[in-house]
Amino acid sequence: MLVDRSRIHIALQRSGRLSELSRDLLRESGLRIEAGKNSLSARAGNFPADLMFVRDDDIPTFVSDGACELGIVGQNVLEEFALGSNERGFDVLAELGFGQCSLRIAAPERLNYSGPESLARQRIATSYPRLLRRFLDDRKIEAEVVQMKGAVELAPRLEIATYICDLVSTGATLEANGLRPVDTVLKSQAVLIRTRKPLDDERKAIADQLLSRIDGVLATKESKYIMLNASEEALSRITALLPGAEAPTVLPLHGRPGHFAVHAVCQENVFWETLQELKGRAHPPSSSCPSKR
């Protein structure tokens, strides 16, 4: 297949937990994507990018080989891949804030776990043998890693292994199988990756443009817009409470001398902690209305 050098190629999970969320992010970044569920590839209607829909396990390979310039994949899949390759063929450009899960060691309910040394000489079933092996080696624990492709939660019941090491998000699957999480091997979320293969200027510019759009989308998601009314005396105390905010806009309120409207964009982590305090300080209380957008 001839590679079209005037377009970039983005590897996305075809069908699974990350596929819709990955497409949503690209749509929010302004790409028109009209591919159906069964398509293997799609052309963005209004941006020089082709999307390749593949198994998530293939995404690190495609990007490292340079077949796709960009990709979206879970850190769990990415790090397992990286541990098996001699050279890192990709860079992580952004954490995307979805697909969160943890790779955890889990034990049957009845078993006591008193730290990683409890794993010594035990059998542990996993689909992530390299990440698990690194976890054990870092702690100088010798244990047997039993590799499974799926249904890892069944291993203790089938007496294939005593422990398992698998992805957990809500914990419901572990619970349903009489298991409980006892240790964490890796915390994971979806990330945007770029090949380390050199790009020609044209495709580098396209990739940079998309990255800056994605950065914009992520920044908006992490921000909250605060609007409140305050008296003149309260203004300096209120602006001091907004450390994560851009310079707030302060506007006089028509017909209410000495009172102002304060508008500020605030980082989400600051927002929730600050909200209560703001409510206490804006004056008069009846007109203080911190709100979010």
Binding site for ligand PRT (CB under 6 A): 13, 16-18, 55-57, 74, 76-77, 99, 101, 166-173, 188
Q: Is 58 a binder of Zn ion (CB under 5 A)? A: no
Angstrom distance (rounded) from CA 161 to CA 171: 19
**277 touches Zn ion by CB under 5 A:** no
Amino acid at 212: S
Q: Which of 57, 144, 246, 273 binds Zn ion (CB under 5 A)?
A: 57
Q: Which of Zn ion, ligand PRT, none lies near 292, with the C-beta cut-off 5 to 8 A by kind?
A: none
Q: At its nearest, how many Å lie between ligand PRT and the CB of residue 275?
A: 30
**Residue 129: CB minimum distance to Zn ion, A:** 15
Structure tokens at 139: 């702690």
Instruction: Give dist(CA 8, CA 261) in Å, integer.
Output: 45
For ligand PRT, which is the closer residue by CB, 55 or 197? 55
What residue type is assigned to position 257 of the chain?
A: P
Question: Contact between 56 and Zn ion (CB under 5 A)?
Answer: yes
Order of strands across the sheet that contains 41-43: 41-43, 49-54, 8-13, 70-74, 190-195, 90-95
Q: Could you tell which of ligand PRT, Zn ion, none binds residue 17, using a CB distance below 5 to 8 A set by kind?
A: ligand PRT
DSSP string, 118-155: GGTT-EEEES-HHHHHHHHHHTT---EEEE-SS-GGGT
Size of the site for Zn ion (CB under 5 A): 2
Q: Find all residues with CB under 8 Å of 187, minimum gap 6, and list them.
A: 75, 100, 102, 103
Binding segment (CB under 5 A) for Zn ion, from list 43-51, 53-61, 103-111, 144-152: 53-61
Smaller CB distance to ligand PRT: residue 167 or 185? 167
Instruction: Give the span between the Cα atoms of 124 and 103, in whole angstroms.
Output: 13
Nearest distance from residue 102's CB to ligand PRT, in Å? 9
Tell the smallest beta-carbon distance from residue 4 to Zn ion (Å): 27
- Please state the closest distance from residue 150 (CB atom) to ligand PRT, in A: 8
Contacted by 169, from Zn ion, ligand PRT, none: CB < 5 to 8 Å by type: ligand PRT
The smaller minimum CB distance to ligand PRT, of residues 65 and 232, is found at 65
Q: Closest approach of Cβ 16 to ligand PRT, in Å?
A: 2
Q: Does 109 bind Zn ion (CB under 5 A)?
A: no
Residues in contact with 111: Cβ distance below 8 Å, sequence separation at least 6, in sequence order:
162
Give the separation between CA 124 and CA 107, rounded to whole angstroms: 10
Q: How far is the CB of 80 from ligand PRT (least distance, A)?
A: 9
- Nearest-angstrom CA–CA distance, 247 and 10: 37
Chosen from Zn ion, ligand PRT, none, partner binding at 188 (C-beta under 5 to 8 Å by type): ligand PRT
Partner interacting with residue 13 (select from Zn ion, ligand PRT, none; CB below 5-8 Å by kind) = ligand PRT
What DSSP designation does 58 have?
Answer: G
Question: C-alpha angle with apex 87: 85 to 91, nearest 5 degrees?
Answer: 105
Residues interacting with Zn ion, by CB under 5 A? 56-57
